[in-house]
Amino acid sequence: MNAIVTAVSRSSSHSFSKPNQDSIHLLAGLGIEGDAHLGTTVKHRSRVAKDPTQPNLRQVHLIHAELFDELTTKGFAVAAGEMGENVTTHGIDLLSLPAGARLLLGESAVIEVTGLRNPCVQIDRFQKGLMKAVLGKDEQGNTIRKSGIMAIVLESGEVRPGDAIRVELPAEPHRPLEVV
């Protein structure tokens, strides 16, 4: 199956969910035009409170649509943008990508994967029990965070639903994703 963008979302406020858009414009080094998380330094309120000079490694949030299918089987109803992601994908295992992987979105946008999203208490405020549903354990008992990945924008461009996603892996050895 070919990897595609199924939805794009943004919000100018620090709301949990982001409304779907016909397109979003990614700006190199900054993030998504018109989104509350746009900038070279951290914009997430908890991180700003700790150190507002930290680099913004969370310019773009991506979630795989397959997660929504999994959540449906657990009794949740979650649609694209509702968990705060900017780009909803289908046909790509986002969680298995290594740090530094590049995703080419649409005709010209390029993002670099920086790490995993760490789900926060806002997820349970959105739907009670959802936090537990987006966390799992592997065979060794390590926590698996399913609520998406974060990236920075390397090359500007428009991204729309239906756009192709191409993956460029970094040189080996690959580094597994960690929380950013």
Other residues' Cβ atoms within 10 Å of the Cβ of residue 65: 19
Q: What is the number of alpha carbons within 13 Å of residue 15 lying toward its C-beta?
A: 12
What domains sit in the chain, N to C, each tagged with a CATH number?
A: 4-118+148-168 (2.40.33.20)
- Phi and psi torsions of 115, nearest 5°: 165, -170
Strands 24-27, 157-159: parallel, antiparallel or unpaired by DSSP?
Answer: antiparallel
- In eight-state DSSP terms, residue 18 is -
Which pair of tokens denotes residue 158? 């428009």
The dihedral of CA 34, 108, 103, 88: what is its sign? Answer: positive
Q: What is the DSSP letter of 16?
A: S
Amino acid (one-letter) located at 57 = L
Per-residue tens of pLDDT for the chain, all 180 residues? 699 999 999 999 999 999 999 999 999 999 999 999 999 999 887 888 889 899 999 999 999 999 999 999 999 999 999 999 999 999 999 999 999 999 999 999 999 999 999 888 889 999 999 999 999 898 999 999 999 999 999 999 999 999 999 999 999 999 999 999
Strands (E), 10-148: 20-21, 24-27, 31-32, 60-64, 87-90, 102-105, 109-116, 135-137, 143-145
